[in-house]
Amino acid sequence: MAFTKVKTQLLADEFLTRADNVTLSSSTTSTTLDFDDNAVFEVTLPGDSTNCTINLANARIGVTKTIVIKTSSTAYSGTLSYDVTDSSGSALTGTSTFVRLSSDDITKDANTTNYVQITCVDEGSDAGDRTFIYTAGIAQT
């Protein structure tokens, strides 16, 4: 069997593009990151205690995405959680599970850039049954 080489320019946007930054706040507490749209996502957390959610849509087994999570000039003191929704942000039936593999978690200090790589590793019978593994960290200096 012959191997076929695939050039980068043949890949869809979901493997090559970076989404515009989404800034969360007390009036916008969640965002939906659609696995079908981009390879890299960027989210800025509010500089207060607002609890925020990053929703993941259209996740499929084996697909890894990068989320760049930034803090503003004031430290973030809220809780950041993840969930699985449809592409419009509506809840799905089922249970999503997120397992952090790294010892690091999101650093909430002011003016910090976090890098999260998240991979869907299992799909259940319900649309919302997804298991993800992820690592989080900041750039080493």
What pLDDT, in 10s, does the model give residues 40-97?
999 999 999 999 999 999 999 999 999 999 999 999 999 999 999 998 889 888 899 9
Q: Which amino acid is at 105?
A: D
Q: Where in the chain are the domains?
A: 18-138
Kindly state the tokens that stand for 26: 């007390």
Q: Which residue has the tokens 């981009």?
A: 38
Interatomic CA distance for residues 128 and 26, integer angstroms: 26
What pLDDT, in 10s, does the model give residues 15-25?
889 999 999 99
Question: Which CB contacts under 8 angstroms, 24+ apart, belong to 9-16?
Answer: 13/37, 13/38, 14/38, 14/39, 15/39
Residues forming beta bridges with residue 22, ordered by sequence position = 43
